[in-house]
Amino acid sequence: MSLADYLECNIDFEGQRLAELISQVILTISAIVGFLYGYVQQSLEATIMIFGIGFAITLLVTLPPWPFYNRNPVKWASVQHEKVEDRATSE
Amino acid sequence: MHNLQQRLSATFSFAVSALFTVLGVVAAISWVTGYGTAATKVNVRDIRVIQSRYGPDYFDYGRKTSEFGMLKFDIDADLTPLFNWNTKQVFVTVVAEYETKTHNKNQVVVWDKIIRDKDSAKINLRKVSNKYALIDFSQKWRNQVANLSVHWDVTPHVGILQNGRGDTSSVKFTFPKFESSGGR
Amino acid sequence: MFEELRRLNKRQVALQVLNILMVLTSALMIWKGLALATNSESPIVVVLSGSMEPAFHRGDLLLLANPASQPVQVGDICVFQIPHRDIPIVHRVIKLHDEAKTGKQFLLTKGDNNNVDDRGLYNARQMWINKEHVVGRVRGFMPYVGMVTILMNDYPQLKYVMLGVLGLFVLIHRE
């Protein structure tokens, strides 16, 4: 892979759907759990902390291109080389 | 969601929306339930009137005949009910209110205190002097009757600011006429 | 990105400009609507100084309201603007005198974190401020959100960088 490809951390379409789902689930759950725990403990700091941890976990799970995001690679059509003489005569 | 930058920005914006929703719910709850009331009691120990002058910022008080009230009071307050998860600080004030012939509403803060957590929310002080100058707009106290009461102002971590006063704690007192001790 | 730039022609640019104008005018409508609802000229302000700590820190966002039906009380936190001074000040009212005949209000303010009242900040010989100096009373509070404004004030180059980047994005993205 070239450096640009490596930095882009691409994942395939199925992986993208999975990543989006995972991030939304983790963030929503940490928001709800944080809210409930903070309410019971009467501590807003606890809510923010729990949400912060959830955010960090989300980044860790969705940002790097883990292998389970690349299980359905896109099947690109094979490159077809046109014959150079045909192109020259048709112009 | 194809590359790193897109995933980062999508996750970040969802996280911000979720956080704002949670904070919005917290603020809404505080708005609806309020902060409750506190038990307060204030008692006037001593009230004197002296003549003095201030300056130079206090242009009007530059004359030597401005009358200042010197007040000593006791205060007992239990402000712990006001502290919940959304309370950032409680600002407690002791306020003197009165009416004069020219001014129908006068409110003067005599003493204040900032309380930042539940542990320091109990106040029991004796013979407290007024922190701020007790001077009327006309700079004279003419046997004025005034009402001393305790007010509080809650600053939340997020949401609407709410205030209240201890109605059962107000106490009336009268300013004595200024006695000059040796002619003009 | 450069492919998008090549695809731009006059109609695309005009459409983008129209989109930008729509967004700007919607924002202006919301802002003016809020000002009308709260009866305050500038209903959202950012705290610029530390004179109200520990309640408000630099970068906090305040929602103001100035309802005519609720008169100013002592202990209210007001945002006021002294004539000939351009920065509005957010401090608490510690003295209040209402004149019966004229209905004029005489207010004295002080920051929680200051030792003295604000007479040093008023104009020379001014002992009180009045209702017309008050922009609004603080009703709501949101921490940290206004930090962006503070950063832009402290580092003006950041303002130009952000405007430039925003302008570029808006021109070339067609959503």
Which chain B residues are Cβ-neighbours of C129 within 8 angstroms? Answer: none
Cα atoms in the Cβ-side hemisphere of radius 13 Å centred on C6:
3
Of C49, C64, C81, C31, the closest CA to residue C142 belongs to: C64
Phi, psi of A78 (to 5 degrees): -75, 150
Q: Does the CB of B22 have a partner CB in chain A at under 8 Å?
A: yes
Which chain B residues are Cβ-neighbours of C75 within 8 angstroms? Answer: 91, 93, 95, 109, 151, 153, 163
Q: Where do the CATH 2.10.109.10 domains begin and end in chain C?
A: 44-144
R_g over Cα of chain A:
23
Are C127 and C84 within 8 A, CB to CB? no
CA A49 to chain centre: 24
At B163, the amino acid letter reads N
Q: Does the CB of B31 have a partner CB in chain C at under 8 Å?
A: no
Of B28, B20, B22, B34, the closest CA to residue B154 belongs to: B34
Angle between helices C156-172 and C10-38 (to 10 degrees): 130
pLDDT in tens, B53-69: 765 556 565 666 778 88
First to last CA, chain B: 86
How far does B30 lie from chain A, in Å, by closest CA?
A: 11
Could you say which of A9, A23, A63 has the minimum Cβ distance to residue B14? Answer: A23
pLDDT in tens, B109-136: 999 999 988 888 888 999 888 888 888 8
CA B135 to chain centre: 18
Are A19 and B1 within 8 A, CB to CB? yes
Instruction: Say yes or no for a CB contact (<8 Å) between B14 and A9.
Output: no
CA distance B8 to B40: 52
Q: Does the CB of C100 have a partner CB in chain B at under 8 Å?
A: yes
Q: Closest chain B residue to C73 measured between Cα atoms?
A: B107
pLDDT at B43: 84
ipTM of model: 0.82
Best A1, A25, A44, A53 member to test B by mutation, with max B CBs in 10 Å, is A44
Instruction: Say yes or no for a CB contact (<8 Å) between B22 and A41.
Output: no
Cβ pairs A/B, distance under 8 A: 65
pLDDT in tens, B15-29: 999 999 999 999 999
Say yes or no to pLDDT of A24 above 90.
yes
Q: Does the CB of B63 have a partner CB in chain C at under 8 Å?
A: no
Q: Does the CB of B149 have a partner CB in chain C at under 8 Å?
A: no
DSSP per-residue letters across B100-143:
-SSEEEEEEEEEEEEE-SGGG-EEEEEEEEPSS-B--TTS--SS
The percentage of residues in chain A with a pLDDT greater than 90, rounded to a whole number, is 34
CATH code that applies to domain C44-144: 2.10.109.10
Residue with tokens 């929680």: C112
Structure tokens at A16: 């993208």
- Cβ neighbors of A68 (< 8 A, separation 6 or more) are A15, A18
Say yes or no to pLDDT of A34 above 90.
yes
Chains that touch A (3 or more CB pairs under 8 A): B
DSSP per-residue letters across B144-168:
-EEEEEEEEEEEESSEE-EEEEEEE
pTM: 0.79
CA angle in degrees (0–180, nearest 5) for B88-C62-A27 = 70
pLDDT at B183: 37
Q: Does the CB of B60 have a partner CB in chain C at under 8 Å?
A: yes
Are C76 and C93 within 8 A, CB to CB? yes
